[in-house]
Amino acid sequence: MTTEISTRRRREFLGGVRAVLPILLGVAPFGMIYGALARDAGLGPAEAQAMSSIVFAGSAQFLIAGLIKINAPAFIIVASVVVINLRHALYSASMAPRLSGLRWPVKILIAYLLTDEAYATVIPRYRERADPVGPDLRHWHFLGVGVSLWLCWQATTALGVFLGSAIPAAWQLDFTLPLTFIAIVVPGIRNRPALAAAVVAGVVSILAFGLEFKLGLIVAAIAGIVAGGLAERVLARE
Amino acid sequence: MDLNQLLLFALAGLATFLIRLSFIALLGRMAVPVWVRRILPYVPTAALTAIIVPELLMRGDVVFLSLSNTRLIAGLLACGVAWRTKNAFLTIGAGMVALWVLTAVVGRE
């Protein structure tokens, strides 16, 4: 029985590794760009690497490096990280019922590994039925996905830190950041409240651009979120 | 190691971790407020759009609304590809190729 469970665990874990392989192709250049960008922003090699292991959140790490470069105060940086990563609360809410039977150390590990990419990759496995016999071991699938992403992010950060300015500036690889976000955001705009959220956030981000320490980002994000909520309410009344 | 930076990463990392843990930890202990459930879906759209738009439109402190704004044109094209294909790989690929072609045509900004 025990052997059988350990076999199933391994199968779930390796299934996760396989599922995330194509995603790693997109994550790898991003990790390298982060490493190079962090060095360019004035972070030391050890600091750049430490941020990847401690924070482990791509877009937030770009933001932190950018804010360190312009000497933004720490509370602004942490507040911006909270705004940028608030979307992860949504993934947390979605994963919560699926993890409710697990032990705390597993929940904590999964929360640490809960990135956009990990969430997007594991959801199909959770939509399938669990194996009909024995305990539900799908969290091992999550761990296969999450650990692969983590290792990829650490390795490509190191590579980017090492290569640094050897990556030609003419390639303009920093443009992959807005492009990656476009790839996440645009397919998600499927109704009028979401469109309202995007339009308001976009307009306010330009109007509030001059605010100190990139505060415009927080203001624009909150304006967009409120606009989305209000639009949904107004449309529901019609 | 820069201790101030490490402390900053620890705070940013803790904040990120607590957001990710939030509902996983709270489930069964408290109900999610209705207004939170209502606005949560708009968080990624609003937050990421607030990053995208200035990246495409601003140069320094100035709005650069022009056909020679290579990042704006390439970004709009990427939006079209993302809308049609919903494919991240194609979106990023098309956006980068468009940026390189436009840069070759109008020169580096």
3-state secondary structure string across B38-71? HHCCHHHHHHHHHHHHHHHHEECCEECCCCCCHH
pLDDT tens digits for A101-114?
899 999 999 999 99
The mean-pLDDT minimum among A134-138, A178-182, A198-202, A210-214 falls in A210-214
| Inter-residue contact B65 to B58 (CB < 8 Å) | no
Q: Which residues constitute the domain of residue B23? A: 1-40
The answer to whether residues B50 and B7 belong to one domain is no
| Inter-residue contact B12 to A62 (CB < 8 Å) | no
Q: What's the number of domains chain B is made of?
A: 2
- Cα torsion A155, A145, B29, A230: sign: positive
CB contact under 8 A, B48 and A59: yes
CB contact under 8 A, A178 and B41: no
The answer to whether residues B49 and B66 belong to one domain is yes
Residue of B20, B46, B71 lying closest to A224 (CB–CB): B46
Instruction: Give B102 to chain A, closest Cα distance, Å.
Output: 12
Among A93, A117, A136, CA closest to A30: A117
The answer to whether residues B48 and B16 belong to one domain is no
The answer to whether residues B1 and B36 belong to one domain is yes
The answer to whether residues B45 and B89 belong to one domain is yes
- Give how far the C-alpha of residue B38 lies from the chain's centroid of Cα atoms, to the nearest Å: 21
The answer to whether residues B45 and B34 belong to one domain is no
Where do the domains of chain A lie?
2-169, 189-238
- DSSP lists the bridge partners of residue B59 as B62
In this prediction the ipTM stands at 0.86
pLDDT tens digits for A39-96?
988 899 999 999 999 999 988 998 899 889 888 889 989 998 998 788 788 789 888 8
Among A117, A115, A114, CA closest to A24: A117
